[in-house]
Amino acid sequence: MAVRIIAEKCKGCQKCLKNCPFDAITMQGKIADIGPACTNCGNCIENCPFDAIEKIDDGNKGVDITLYHDVWVFAEQRDNKLMGVAIELLGEGRRLADEIGCRLCAVLCGDKVDELVAELYEYGADVVYYASAPELKTYNTDAYTKVIYEAIVKYKPEIVLLGATHIGRDLGPCLAVHCGTGLTADCTKLEIDPEDKKLMQTRPAFGGNLMATILCPRHRPQMSTVRPGVMTKPERVSGRRGELVNLDVKFADGDIRMQVLEVVKGLTEQVSLTDAKIIVSGGNGLGKPEGFELIKKLADKLGGVVGASRAAVDNGWIDHSHQVGQTGTTVKPELYIACGISGAIQHLAGMQTSKTIVAINKDENAPIFEVADYGIVGDLYKVIPTLLEVLGE
Ligand code: FAD
Ligand code: SF4
Ligand code: SF4
């Protein structure tokens, strides 16, 4: 569908300009004109006092969605090890597949990573589509896109889920463009519409101030990326088995336009926030970079890792790999201690599902206290040393 102005009815009142959230409407003389920024949201239609805007069929009928079945999860592996997010997505995929009444399938690419097939069954996959070739040993955009795109064309999954890792964020859009379908990035919730079994993909929008639920009604597959740590890992059922489908892997000259010469791990200290059971995070309230020494002492004492708010990262006090929140890492530890962090919605988006939240803040009205299980109102430079003393005993 598309949205158009009915020129004969338009009175040039400009009301639609104010009502378009995407600034897609301009005036061409006395008549409104809809530009390419239009998302077909329909807001202007409801607000035109002269019924001068309508939805029209632009001939884009999509695909025959009845041909598409099954939920696929991209089983991202690195160095022959499944990424945690792939396992989390198998748990989520299982739930979605059961609601739709279809199979859960994993797509595994690599070079002789056969031992991962059994692991995928044990985490819930009914079917594993497996592509093994030297060209797939390390992630390569062209190689992975070609193999998985060809599998999608042949086997027609109705849903494809990928982790919002660096690799998933590269591969997902490439596949979506090849398939001519949409992709919802960084979903925080996936549900099946009980009426028509379509995937409802929810993600934060407008800087996290509202949650948008996005549908892909006429194209397939429905594709989503989900950030690590958002979904819960399923129980591993030892000995569970499934069906193996080996994918044809053939590359012609020119198929792979890039070559991985060397893999260099990040030089900055990397933290695994997603797997951490205890996180002690510092924010702007630390007031200086040295404040993180105190945060680290507390984290070390508790056997945890150091997290940070974006303000602390933006101040240059700590590396971005420590950032928790909407544009950092989503975490779900047993214990999250927020020190000198106000509790902005974008920070909460990344940590509010932690099992127990402790907040230390000198402002008793700080929003962080609304999500905290335990709140300590006070100066962190007094509170943390006291905690360390008590823990020392
Ligand atoms: P502040 O808001 O400045 O809060 C500092 C707190 O410390 C205050 O509550 C103050 O009372 C307290 N304090 C001060 N001194 C002391 C003391 N001595 N002892 C105890 N308490 C003290 N933010 C994130 O964290 N993660 C994200 O991923 C993220 N993504 C974003 C994405 C977008 C699109 C946007 C627009 C913003 C994003 N932000 C993110 C930024 C977010 O909106 C906030 O600006 C940020 O979280 C604030 O960090 P803060 O709480 O450390 O700082
Ligand atoms: Fe024309 Fe309707 Fe827009 Fe007014 S609100 S400018 S009548 S299209
Ligand atoms: Fe703007 Fe939505 Fe109207 Fe398109 S349909 S012109 S995006 S208000």
pLDDT digits (tens, 9 = 90+) for 118-163: 999 999 999 999 999 999 999 999 999 999 999 999 999 999 999 9
Please list, in sequence order, all residues whose beta carbon lies within 8 angstroms of the beta carbon of residue 327, skipping any fewer than 6 positions away.
310, 346
pLDDT of residue 19: 93
Pocket lining: 11 vs ligand 2, CB cutoff 6 Å: yes
Pocket lining: 24 vs ligand 2, CB cutoff 6 Å: no
Please identify, by atom number, the ligand 3 atom nearest to the C-alpha of residue 19.
8
Which residue out of 8, 15, 46 has the highest number of ligand 2 atoms within 8 Å of its CB and is therefore the one to mutate? 15
pLDDT of residue 230: 86
Please identify, by atom number, the ligand 3 atom nearest to the C-alpha of residue 34.
6
Burial class (CB in 10 A: 0-12, 13-18, 19+), 250: exposed
What does each C-alpha distance from 219 to 72, 371, 389 come to in angstroms?
16, 39, 60
pLDDT of residue 267: 55
- What separation in Å is there between the alpha carbon of 104 and the centre of ligand 3? 37
Average pLDDT over the chain, rounded to an integer? 93
Query: Residue 99: beta bridge partners?
Result: none
- What separation in Å is there between the alpha carbon of 2 and the centre of ligand 2? 17
- CA-to-CA distance for 234 and 350, rounded, in angstroms? 20
Atom 2, ligand 2: which residue's CA is nearest? 48
Pocket lining: 5 vs ligand 2, CB cutoff 6 Å: yes
Residues 269, 273, 275, 279, CA torsion sign: positive
> Is the per-residue pLDDT at 270 higher than 70?
no
Taking the model in full, what pTM does it have?
0.70
228: preceding bond cis by omega (within 30 degrees): no
Give yes or no for a contact between 368 and 312, defined as CB atoms under 8 angstroms apart: no
- What separation in Å is there between the alpha carbon of 224 and the centre of ligand 1? 29
The pLDDT > 70 percentage for the chain reads 98
294 phi, psi to nearest 5 deg: -70, -40
| Inter-helix orientation angle 166-179/141-155, to 10° | 50
> Is the per-residue pLDDT at 269 higher than 90?
no
- What ligand is nearest to the CA atom of residue 35? 3
Give yes or no for a contact between 40 and 3, defined as CB atoms under 8 angstroms apart: yes
C-alpha closest to that of 120 among 240, 287, 5: 240
